[in-house]
């Protein structure tokens, strides 16, 4: 697993059309190789299988803690892995789930060899879930999600505190900045604060050239971060 991670959450924006998603998957692969940064894409759920055939780091936007079998409509970790999905966002601010499900899903993904990204809203949740030793924790204050105001600039003290909490937990977990990341400067600032990457969405998806924006963010990340 590369130390630094850029996750592109496509959500369910209309701009994340099939053709655009294909181009973004290809751009993610190029940027990852060029800059030595892991670039994951999280496409709309119906595109997961196809995107997994184009890019080697594809995450589900959400998972459900239910079993294989008679569980119509749920996103099942084991099924996702069979489709080529390599990881997942857990507890995103737009799709929060109960604590017992977070605990169970981190464990299931670990056993499946998949990457877990637990999203948290504050330091209290950072402390609680860092103990689970997920691969990543993404700090994303809900009020900044989709706001156009980057957490790395609006709440730098929150990022630094979260970095310290994760470090003190003593596991292999790394911290990502989510919420409002707009520019390469926001990415650079996140890395200077001790983050190992960013979780970005609308600024990339709705950009005039999303592929160029992926390159921009990955390039900003490549010279920074904890080695």
144: in domain:
yes
Mean pLDDT value across residues 76-84: 97
Q: What is residue 16's predicted lDDT score, i.e. its pLDDT?
A: 85
Identify whether 227 is part of a domain.
no
- The total number of structural domains in the chain stands at 1
Is the four-CA dihedral 132, 190, 17, 24 of positive or negative sign? Answer: negative
Taking the CB of residue 71, how many other CB atoms lie within 10 A of it? 12
Q: Give yes or no for a contact between 164 and 147, defined as CB atoms under 8 angstroms apart.
A: no
Report if pTM > 0.95. no
Q: Is the pLDDT at 181 greater than 90, yes or no?
A: no
Residue 115, strand partner residues: 87
Report pLDDT for 149. Answer: 64
On whether residue 44 sits in a domain, the answer given is: yes
Catalytic option among 55, 125, 140, 216 = 140
Is residue 136 in a domain? yes
- Catalytic residue, chosen from 62, 92, 215, 216, is 92
Tell me how far CA of residue 50 lies from CA of 21, 42, 44, 55, 58, in angstroms: 10, 12, 11, 9, 10
> What CATH number should be reported for the domain holding residue 30?
3.20.20.70
Residue range(s) defining the domain that contains residue 43? 5-222
Tell me whether residue 123 is in a domain: yes
Residue 113: its pLDDT value, please? 98
Could you give the percent of the chain with pLDDT greater than 90?
A: 75
Return the pLDDT at 223.
63
Residue 153 has pLDDT above 50, yes or no: yes
Told to judge if 92 belongs to the known catalytic residues of this protein, a careful annotator would answer yes
Does residue 192 carry a catalytic annotation? no
Would you say residue 175 lies in a domain? yes
């Amino acid at each position: 697993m590369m130390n630094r991670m850029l996750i592109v959450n496509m959500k369910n924006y209309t701009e994340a059309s099939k053709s655009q998603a294909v181009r973004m998957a290809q751009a993610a692969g190029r940027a990852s190789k060029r800059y030595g940064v892991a670039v994951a894409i999280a496409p709309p759920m119906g595109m997961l299988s196809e995107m997994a055939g184009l890019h080697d780091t594809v995450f589900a936007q959400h998972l459900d803690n239910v079993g294989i079998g008679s569980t119509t409509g749920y996103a099942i970790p084991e099924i996702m892995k069979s489709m080529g999905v390599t990881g997942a966002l857990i507890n995103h601010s737009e799709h929060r789930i109960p604590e017992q499900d977070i605990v169970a899903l981190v464990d299931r993904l670990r056993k499946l060899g998949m990457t877990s990204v637990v999203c948290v809203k504050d330091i209290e949740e950072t402390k609680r879930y860092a103990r689970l030793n997920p691969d990543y924790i993404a700090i994303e204050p809900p009020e900044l999600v989709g706001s156009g105001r980057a957490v790395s600039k609006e709440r730098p003290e929150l990022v630094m505190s979260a970095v310290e909490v994760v470090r003190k937990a003593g596991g292999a977990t790394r911290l990502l900045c989510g919420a409002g990341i707009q520019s390469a400067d926001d990415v650079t600032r996140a890395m200077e604060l001790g983050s190992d990457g960013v979780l970005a969405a609308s600024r990339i998806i709705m950009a005039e050239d999303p592929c160029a924006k992926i390159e921009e963010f990955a390039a900003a990340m490549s010279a920074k971060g904890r080695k």
